[in-house]
Amino acid sequence: MTGADVLLLALGTVAVGAGLLVVTTRHLVRAGLHLVVCLGAVAGMYLVLTAELVAWVQVLIYVGAVVVLLLFAVMLTRAPIGASDDLDRPGWPAVLVGGGAGLGLSALLVDAFRWTRVELPAAGTAERLGEQVFRSWVLPFEVLSVLLLAALVGAVVLARPEIGRRAGPEREGRR
Amino acid sequence: MRPVIPYVTAALLFGLGAYGVLRRRNAVLVLMAVELMLNAVNLILVTADTTVRAQLPHAGQVFALFVIVLAAAEVGVGLAIVLQLYRLRADVAVDEVPLTDEPVPALVGAETGAGRAGGTGAVPEPDAPEGDR
């Protein structure tokens, strides 16, 4: 095992362990904090896999923005101090599907890549990735910017408080 | 570098995410589990980028960037929906959303708003008994 293998194994263990805590913990806020650990470990794996730009984008967008948004939503909906008992549904189908997907995919990938060894390629710096994005992938990039704008407008429209109120008078008018 | 380690990590993360989506009742926790699955896909893409020699260099990493942007858009719209649901029902349990009923304003702010709307229409409100139902 090389140094990269050891690093990947350690970071992967951290990521899977934190992910397990995210889906099993009974504290809402702690689930978000475990998610930070999990996403940070995945960002470390990206760094070991020479994907520099993706790692920093992961830290910026996921750990910086998405988790903060999720924690905001936890606080805005219901933020009990301590454990809550009503977070889970009875879990046999979930165990079957989740365990089946995880272990089945693991078996498949282990079977395919068990003895494979590769040399790490040149690092995916911002310069190289930028060349690719703005040469080969310009059209998806632009479509994605339109999608982001649409999602932004949609979120603003959905979050307006008048939507729930408007239902009242309309319903009275129909009767 | 053995690519099997990140591949298996990604597979396990995906399984955990699928388990969380099916197991959790709280809508915010369901969104967290979806984020786990999206991260597993990103890890697969980045690992495949180092493993497989594609015709375009770094295509996997570019795809991972695109998936991160999609995840940001998804979580924004998803949280807006969750907050609207909480405003209407005062609860975010995904298995107790009655899709056939009409929404009842459940919070204090929404109720005062409904009171104002009913006051301008000069119609007595039928909302309160429906809320008990």
Q: Do B43 and A45 touch (CB under 8 A)?
A: yes
CA B105, B111, B113, B117 dihedral sign is positive
Q: Give percent of chain B with pLDDT exceeding 90.
A: 44
Query: Nearest by CB to B117, which of A12, A51, A165?
Result: A165
Q: Where are the domains of chain B?
A: 4-124
Query: Nearest by CB to B95, which of A89, A169, A175?
Result: A89
Site of tokens 């549904």: A89
pLDDT above 80 (res B96) = no
- When comparing pLDDT for A15 and A116, which is higher? A15
Render B1-45 in DSSP notation, one character per residue.
--THHHHHHHHHHHHHHHHHHHHB-BHHHHHHHHHHHHHHHHHHH
Render B79-128 in DSSP notation, one character per residue.
HHHHHHHHHHHS--BGGG--SSSPP---SHHHHHHHHHHHHHHT----HH
- 10 Å Cβ neighbour count for B21? 21
pLDDT above 70 (res A163) = no
Q: Report the distance separating Cα A80 and Cα A65, nearest Å.
A: 23
How many helical (H) and strand (E) elements, i.e. helices and strands, does chain A have?
8, 0
Q: Report the distance separating Cα B27 and Cα B95, nearest Å.
A: 9
Chain A residues with CB under 8 Å of B20 CB are 22-23, 94, 98
Chain A residues with CB under 8 Å of B110 CB are 161, 164-165
Q: Report the distance separating Cα B69 and Cα B94, nearest Å.
A: 25
> Among the ranges A149-153, B98-102, B126-130, which has the highest mean pLDDT value?
A149-153
Identify which of A166, A102, A80 has the alpha carbon closest to the alpha carbon of residue B28. Answer: A80
Averaged pLDDT, A120-144: 90
Averaged pLDDT, A27-45: 93
Q: Do A106 and B8 touch (CB under 8 A)?
A: yes
Which residue does chain A place closest to B8, by CA atoms? A106
Per-residue pLDDT of A88-131, as tens digits, reads 777 788 999 999 999 999 999 999 988 888 888 888 888 999 99
Query: For residues A28 and A84, is the Cβ–Cβ distance under 8 A?
Result: yes
Interface of B with A in 78-117 (CB under 8 A): 79-84, 86-88, 92-93, 95, 102-103, 105, 109-110, 113-114, 117
Chain B residues with CB under 8 Å of A68 CB are none
Residue B93's beta-bridge partner residues?
Answer: B26
Q: Give B27's Cβ-side CA count (13 Å radius).
A: 25
pLDDT of res. A118: 85
Alpha-carbon distance A26 to nearest alpha carbon in chain B (angstroms): 10
Q: Do B23 and A88 touch (CB under 8 A)?
A: yes
Per-residue pLDDT of B66-77, as tens digits, reads 999 999 999 999
pLDDT above 70 (res A68) = yes
Q: How many CB pairs under 8 A join A and B?
A: 306
Which residue does chain A place closest to B106, by CA atoms? A164
Which residue does chain A place closest to B13, by CA atoms? A16
Q: Do B31 and A31 touch (CB under 8 A)?
A: no
Query: For residues A135 and B64, is the Cβ–Cβ distance under 8 A?
Result: no
Complex prediction ipTM? 0.87
Per-residue pLDDT of B112-129, as tens digits, reads 444 444 434 444 444 444
Query: What domains, with CATH codes, occur in chain A?
Result: 3-82+94-136 (1.20.120.1200), 137-167 (no CATH)
Which residue does chain B place closest to A156, by CA atoms? B80
Phi, psi of B106 (to 5 degrees): -110, -20
pLDDT above 80 (res A65) = yes
Tell me the CATH class for B4-124: mainly alpha
Query: For residues B37 and A112, is the Cβ–Cβ distance under 8 A?
Result: no
pLDDT of res. A158: 86
pLDDT above 60 (res B110) = no
Q: Report the distance separating Cα A68 and Cα A56, nearest Å.
A: 17
- Give the list of residues 6+ apart from residue A108 with CB closer than 8 angstroms, or none: B11
Phi, psi of A15 (to 5 degrees): -65, -45
Report chain B's mean pLDDT, rounded to a whole number.
Answer: 79
pLDDT of res. B118: 40
Q: Do A152 and B76 touch (CB under 8 A)?
A: yes
